[in-house]
Structure 1
Amino acid sequence: MTRAAGRPDGRLEERSAGRTAGRHRGRLRRTLLAGLVAAAVVLPVSAAASPDVPAPAPAVLAEQTALPDRYAANRAGLAEAARMAREAGRTGRAAKLEAMEAGGTARFLAFDGRGRGRAVEVLGDLERADRVAVLVPGSDTTLDTYQRFRAGAVALQQRLLAAGHPRSAVVAWLGYDTPGTVSPTVLTADRADVAAAELGPFLDRLGRAAAPGAQLSLLCHSYGSVVCARTATGPAVTDMALFGSPGTGAGSAAELPTGARIWAGRGGADWIGHVPHVRLGGMGFGTDPVDRAFGARAFPAGAGGHSDYLKPGTASLDSLARIVLGIDPTDPEVPRV
């Protein structure tokens, strides 16, 4: 039986339809993956508001300003910001700022109480420290959520002291405008690029402020790992740890602009492990840092969740303290610090 003249072969029709369906499936898959990235990153954490609270402009200090004078100037700015917030009826913000004052003993290298706010706090004696850890936070870290961020810095400093290393310091670096968790900015590297341009020079200055020959470690949580992965570092930064990371935007550790050892870890209950590690245009961050193909050194992170990495008693805190002290966290011969 012959086909009518001009009628396409049935198999050609099937192949053509298959190719069309494949293209549609590919587009659908990319759309779904983008949606999954957005849902996984955005939904688990509620956004913190950015209150319009009056606050003074930050202190303008010369680079050579002595640390005690720098601390005093920023404490004064913090106290004034708390006073202004209370007078404006913003009692919630005022209470949070007053808690940050720590009875007049807190040591801030920088403070800006305007908007979502910025603060760079030192725990320990920076001038004597030969090991300095710099914590870089993720999304929705603001002055209103600062105590949660600071608690991790305190826990790390206590762990370093318990390990018998008094010449250590921890710097809580809220030195950038973190993206809101419920916002499109958390899916792009725009905020990270701006932050990295500030973090790199800060690390250079920090190295000069610490003891001669001090070794710095960058400990980077969640979106903070995107910041660190874009930060050019000098030889003083010996280690960079990425944890709770959605990806960095780089395909491998070798692509990062640093000569530091790159570590990566993820807690067993961290929801970010379910985020599709894809990059579509300018959205998403690509290769998972804990994937062997990324080339980072894996560190034990225990069974904790996304906000648990610096909690006392966790395997992740122990690993991060070892990294700061220059100890391989995977070495079974070294007892827990």
Structure 2
Amino acid sequence: MAIPTRIGPYRIGRLRRTVLAALVGSAVVVPMAGAARPAAVPAPPPPSLGPLRAATCATDVAARFAANRDGVLAGERMAAGHGDRRRAAALRALADPARNLLSFDGRDGGRSAEVFGDLCGAERIAVLVPGSDTSFEQYGRFQAGAEALSRRLGDRSAVVAWLGYPTPSMLGLSVLTARRAEAAAPALRAFVDEVSAVRPGARVSVLCHSYGSVVCASAAEGLAASDIVLFGSPGTGVDNVASLHTTAAVWAGRGAGDLIGRVPHVRLRLPFVTVGFGTDPVSPGFGAHVFAAGDSAHSDYLKAGSVSLDSIARIASGDNRA
């Protein structure tokens, strides 16, 4: 009997669905088989902060940095008293006087927005939106990427590392659905509105990594940004750029070393939930401007000296040669 050398479209679709079903099974089974998740770490409510205003930006920002540092230290004391040494150590590092937090809330897993560069004098503002498994305890790579991008953009620029939502775990079903992204979208739109109002003439780019690209897609309509940049994306939950209903230029890139490219780009409607994120953002059918990402692995897009960092910096600078 002859062995078929080609697989028809129906079989490809069925194969993708089978693989995605396996992913869903793993996402459900692994957490149940493992240890129970730890209880939430207690934290004080965030400080009451006034609005940022363009006319008094430097004063307002300095006041926020100081108030949020006090909030982080209060959170560190509560975490230590609770016996969570890992959270306490992470907050102690975040309270370093060299760190500049525009916002901080240690409750419900924690939220923050850290500024790198001079926000009040910036002509270019890049807002980084992280993907799964980003937290105060796992903040190092996110911070390093923001610092590398800030150095690459140079003077008259600011990078904001926006950890503004509870990112999903790679070992949970939530990473396969858009629910957390949809819940995070209003906060992202409000934050971008705030920094845009402080520097109304600045170019604002929103840079979205991995699951963060689902957050950005959910927030795209009405997002006050010149560019939405998707990298290492599993999909966005929509079929094409037109479905994002945005006036921003939409960019997408994926490194040759990124295994996210092997994730099936489909959506499955199951009882009570839809899993998967649909069209591959770097495919011609999606309609994004595709940028060079070199051989970047999934966590290396903002690595110093990389092709992907150079491309993303060019986009944030308004250089269309990216």
TM-score by length of structure 2 reads 0.86
How far apart, in 2, do the equivalents of 1:26 and 1:101 lie? 51
The aligned amino acid for 1:87 is G
**Which of 44, 68, 74 lines up with 2:68 in the alignment?**
74
**Which of 182, 193, 201 lines up with 1:193 in the alignment?**
182
Long gaps (5+) in structure 2: 1-9, 54-59
What does residue range 251-262 of structure 1 map to in structure 2 within 5 Å? 251-262=239-250
Cα gap change, 1:267/1:50 in structure 2, threshold over 3 Å: closer, same or farther? farther
How far apart, in 2, do the equivalents of 1:266 and 1:292 lie? 13
1:194-220 per-position Cα deviation (integer Å, ceiling 9, x unaligned):
11111112111110123x311100100
1:68-96 per-position Cα deviation (integer Å, ceiling 9, x unaligned):
11111111100111122223332221111
CA displacement at 1:61 relative to structure 2: 1.8
1:286-334 per-position Cα deviation (integer Å, ceiling 9, x unaligned):
000000110001101010210000111110001011011011244xxxx
Cα gap change, 1:206/1:39 in structure 2, threshold over 3 Å: closer, same or farther? farther
User: Is residue 122 of structure 1 aligned with residue 95 of structure 2?
Assistant: no
1:191-249 per-position Cα deviation (integer Å, ceiling 9, x unaligned):
11111111112111110123x31110010000000010111455841111100000001
Cα gap change, 1:236/1:34 in structure 2, threshold over 3 Å: closer, same or farther? closer
How far apart, in 1, do the equivalents of 2:16 and 2:281 lie? 21
How far apart, in 2, do the equivalents of 1:218 and 1:25 lie? 37
What does residue range 4-19 of structure 1 map to in structure 2 within 5 Å? none
**Which of 296, 303, 309 lines up with 1:317 in the alignment?**
309
Partner of 1:174: 163
User: Is residue 138 of structure 1 aligned with residue 124 of structure 2?
Assistant: no
How far apart, in 2, do the equivalents of 1:138 and 1:90 lie? 24
What does residue range 197-212 of structure 1 map to in structure 2 within 5 Å? 197-210=186-199, 212=200
2:41/2:109 contact within 8 Å kept = no
How far apart, in 1, do the equivalents of 2:212 and 2:130 lie? 5
Partner of 1:9: none
The aligned amino acid for 1:86 is A
- Residue 230 of structure 1 aligns to a residue whose secondary structure is helix
Cα gap change, 1:36/1:303 in structure 2, threshold over 3 Å: closer, same or farther? farther
How far apart, in 2, do the equivalents of 1:159 and 1:182 lie? 33
Long gaps (5+) in structure 1: 1-23, 331-337
CA displacement at 1:156 relative to structure 2: 0.4
CA displacement at 1:63 relative to structure 2: 2.2
Partner of 1:156: 149
Partner of 1:53: 41
Rg (Cα) greater in structure: 1
Cα gap change, 1:240/1:26 in structure 2, threshold over 3 Å: closer, same or farther? closer
Cα gap change, 1:41/1:89 in structure 2, threshold over 3 Å: closer, same or farther? closer
Partner of 1:86: 80
Partner of 2:57: none
User: Is residue 307 of structure 1 aligned with residue 283 of structure 2?
Assistant: no
Cα gap change, 1:27/1:127 in structure 2, threshold over 3 Å: closer, same or farther? closer
How far apart, in 2, do the equivalents of 1:244 and 1:159 lie? 20
- Residue 135 of structure 1 aligns to a residue whose secondary structure is strand
Partner of 2:5: none
How far apart, in 1, do the equivalents of 2:314 and 2:179 lie? 32
Cα gap change, 1:64/1:270 in structure 2, threshold over 3 Å: closer, same or farther? closer
How far apart, in 2, do the equivalents of 1:217 and 1:263 lie? 11
How far apart, in 1, do the equivalents of 2:160 and 2:317 lie? 15
Partner of 2:4: none
How far apart, in 2, do the equivalents of 1:235 and 1:222 lie? 19
How far apart, in 2, do the equivalents of 1:329 and 1:271 lie? 26
How far apart, in 1, do the equivalents of 2:320 and 2:27 lie? 31
Partner of 2:235: 247
User: Is residue 111 of structure 1 aligned with residue 97 of structure 2?
Assistant: no
Partner of 2:20: 34
CA displacement at 1:33 relative to structure 2: 3.6
How far apart, in 1, do the equivalents of 2:276 and 2:142 lie? 24
How far apart, in 2, do the equivalents of 1:305 and 1:288 lie? 17
How far apart, in 2, do the equivalents of 1:115 and 1:28 lie? 39
Cα gap change, 1:322/1:27 in structure 2, threshold over 3 Å: closer, same or farther? closer
State the aligned residue count.
299
The aligned amino acid for 2:66 is A
Larger displacement relative to structure 2 (32-41 or 265-274): 32-41
What does residue range 280-295 of structure 1 map to in structure 2 within 5 Å? 280-281=268-269, 282-295=274-287
